[in-house]
Amino acid sequence: MTERTRPSGVAIGQERPGPASGRVLASVQDLRIHFRTKAGLVHAVDGVSFDILDGEALGLVGETGCGKTVTARSFLRLVPMPPGVHAGGRVLFHGRSGEEAVDVMTAPEARLRDIRGNRIAMIFQDPGKALNPALPIGDQIAEVLYAHRTDEVLRRAGVDPTDGSVAGHLLRRMANQRTRHVETLALRSPGVRAGARRVRAVVEEWVIASLAETRIADPRKIMKSYPHELSGGMKQRVMIAQALACDPELLIADEPTTALDVTIQARILDLIRELQARHRSAVLYISHDLSVVKRVCDRVAVMYAGRIVETRDSEDLFRAPLHPYTRGLLAATPSHREERVRLAAIDGTVPELIDPPPACRFHPRCPHAAEVCTVIDPPLRTPHAEEGEVACFLYQTPDEVGVEPEQMPTLERTR
Ligand SMILES: Nc1ncnc2c1ncn2[C@@H]1O[C@H](COP(=O)(O)OP(=O)(O)OP(=O)(O)O)[C@@H](O)[C@H]1O
Ligand code: SF4
Ligand SMILES: [Mg+2]
């Protein structure tokens, strides 16, 4: 693996698992995903860059329509193209094992299959839609194991994965679900029947253990159920069990609790945090709700209108948000009710992402906007005396930007 590490240390919250090594596990570099629509080209993700460190929980937050899901789905190349267009940039998966980084956006499909659901897994907002209604829960989790853990399944069943005999070949085909009809019949022959039974038993126990980890009651019964027989919270636990069955290096959770009621939300959040610590996976946690992210994440990336506007350690960001948009978002969370007044100052909605102008996209809503903000797009920079990055001229000097002081915004000046 690349030895790239993040230059500055990352604060590890006492109660959180935190980044294991500071190594970069995955990095999004200047990613641009656009959509062709009748109205024009929608710049949904427009120059997004951030790193995910091994073992950390990184939150990706922002209002609806700012590009969080498109960014998240890009990690598994799940954005439909067309209408999507990969207009530039990379999503590099460095992984833990030392091999060369893979650019998910351009990797061959076979390479991607090895990563998807195995090394990078995803939990979706609506588990009802993500699960197959026609298959029992257990079969759906087993599919992931058959697809990605053939050798491990065979070893646990007492079969040498390198066994080149006919029986070994048949069992290997069975353990990755590639059997044709004639092979299924051959698996019933006395020489291989016992091995086939052991393989099935191993997969079944593995599925039960994965479900039990999510503290689902009676996993043996649940694995035989169909999705429609389960509540929303249970379906989400099944999704989590399926996502973690292969011990992924990176788990992507896109608004995993939004469809659930509040008490279940808290339990699912705690479960994700606990399982992350046990599996030592990195997590990209997507939410429009900063209070949720505060509960789960070590670092936070704030997205606005297809761009990252601030990336900081969670503690720093919640103590002293820098970007005016982050301040507004934070002021809107219940624990910062006293700041609600300020939110009125950044009223408005996310701008149209068709042909956005080369300026700060937040300027129509920003209380501090100045002349430079309406003509130049602020780059992400590490602010003076702070860690992390912010894209705002409030934290740059006129010399750095190349304009006159009176053209620059100041925190004191509001409009
Ligand atoms: N298949 C598509 N065709 C056209 N436009 C799309 C498509 N998918 C997403 N978009 C557009 O891309 C932009 C970003 O969408 P995305 O779903 O990533 O937002 P989001 O931040 O996840 O919002 P939410 O919080 O509502 O989930 C939006 O303007 C959306 O309309
Ligand atoms: S001060 Fe200027 S650059 Fe910073 S967020 Fe406001 S409009 Fe954008
Ligand atoms: Mg979304």
**64-90: string of b/e by CB count within 10 Å (b at 16+)?**
ebbbbbbbbbbbbbebeeeebbbeebb
CA of 410 to the centre of ligand 1 (A): 33
User: Model confidence over 113-142: pLDDT tens digits?
Assistant: 989 988 999 998 887 888 999 999 999 999
Nearest to 276 by CA among 10, 121, 55: 55
Nearest to 311 by CA among 297, 332, 328, 292: 297
The response to whether residue 82 sits with its C-beta less than 6 Å from ligand 1 reads no
What is the full DSSP assignment across 126-169? -HHHHS-TTS-HHHHHHHHHHHH-HHHHHHHTT--TT--SHHHH
Average pLDDT of 336-349? 48
From the CA of 290, how far away is ligand 2's center (Å)?
A: 21
Give 70 Cα–ligand 2 centroid separation in angstroms: 24
State the pLDDT at residue 346.
Answer: 55
Query: What are 167's two structure tokens?
Result: 């029986």
Residue 404 Cα to ligand 1 middle (Å) = 38
Query: pLDDT by residue (tens digit) across 174-222?
Result: 767 777 777 777 777 777 777 778 888 999 999 999 999 998 989 999 9
**Any ligand 1 atom below 6 A from CB of 86:** no
Using alpha carbons, list the distances in angstroms from residue 367 to 345, 348, 378: 6, 12, 16
Establish whether the linkage from the previous residue to 108 is cis, with ω within 30° of 0.
Answer: no
Q: Are 83 and 37 in contact (CB under 8 A)?
A: yes
Give the integer Cα–Cα distance in Å for 178 and 242.
Answer: 20
pLDDT tens string 23-72: 899 999 999 999 998 888 999 999 999 999 999 999 999 988 999 999 99
Over the stretch 102-114, which tens digit does the pLDDT of each residue have?
A: 999 999 999 999 8
- Atom in ligand 2 nearest the alpha carbon of residue 373: 2
- List alpha helices for 178-218, DSSP H: 181-186, 190-213
Burial class, 373, CB count within 10 angstroms (exposed 0-12 / middle 13-18 / buried 19+): buried
Q: List, in sequence order, every residue forming a beta bridge with 40; answer none if it has no partner.
A: 37
Mutate which of 34, 35, 81 for ligand 1? The one with the most ligand atoms within 8 Å of its CB, which is 35
Measured between alpha carbons, how far is residue 140 from residues 133, 134, 136, 222 in Å?
A: 10, 10, 7, 12
Q: Is 66 in the pocket of ligand 1 (CB under 6 A)?
A: yes
